[in-house]
Amino acid sequence: MSGRFDGMVAFVTGASSGIGRATALAFGGEGASVVVADIDADGNKETATMIERAGGRALAVDCDVTSGDQVKAALHAGVDRFGGLDVAFNNAGIEQRPKPTAQIADDEWDRLVAVNLRGVFVAMKHEIEIMVPRRGGAIVNTSSGAGIKGVKGQAAYAATKHGVIGLTRSTALEYIAAGVRINAVCPGIVDTEMMRRYTGGTDEGRIGVIAPVPIGRMAEPGEIAAAVLWLCSPEAAFTVGHAMVVDGGHSA
């Protein structure tokens, strides 16, 4: 296991499936020791096992990103095991069931904000605390194609993902002088368990979400992982506060 991240330590939230799992595997495949964090303990352990079976090093930590204490504990478990923190991918998120804004319950709104926006803030805050004394690091936060435009029936989800971009850009300006680079990735339609829930798991639902995508298909999770790894790599050393859209031309 060798590559761009030899000797580095990566931290990935939402690592039990989908984009998070694909990115954790990609980091491991390029030489990083990977701390995988997720509320889904079984799926999270499976991701760690997959990394280890491929010859990498991994640590699975149960973590609810809405809890600052759990996020901090997960990060420091990785520091204790592997000796530091070099890159982080704050990816944990949940979807919104399609509905008009006036029908969104207060508790549904609060839950989306807690996971999708506050969870990124809390993770990034504690990652920065570790990275700044080390004078370096790279962080990528997961926004969405819904973070750069309005989406009918997705007001709460879109609001959280717009918020991630604002949070990313502002924080990037604050910490680049300390050597910490912060960016966001904005995936379009990706073939994940979350998307299957959103489409109802039907061929009709799948065709419906693919229809407006110029490339004519969903992305594979590994295609988003490739963008994340580039943003974390030395190749992206001059990329700061950017929201990289990876959506098959959907927003063009």
Tens digits of residue pLDDT in 3-14: 999 999 999 999
The domain ranges of the chain are: 9-244
Q: Per the residue annotation, which of 157, 188, 229, 244 is the catalytic one? A: 157
Give pTM, 2 decimals: 0.95
Predicted pLDDT at 2: 63
**Does 198 qualify as catalytic in the annotation?**
no
pLDDT digit string (tens) for 125-171? Answer: 999 999 999 999 999 999 999 999 999 999 999 999 999 999 999 99
Predicted pLDDT at 62: 97
As beta bridge partners, residue 60 has 36
Answer positive or negative: Cα dihedral of 76, 79, 82, 87.
Answer: positive
Predicted pLDDT at 200: 82
Q: Give Rg (Cα) of the chain.
A: 17
Spans in the chain with pLDDT lower than 50? none
CB 190 within 8 A of CB 23: no
CATH class as words, domain 9-244: alpha beta
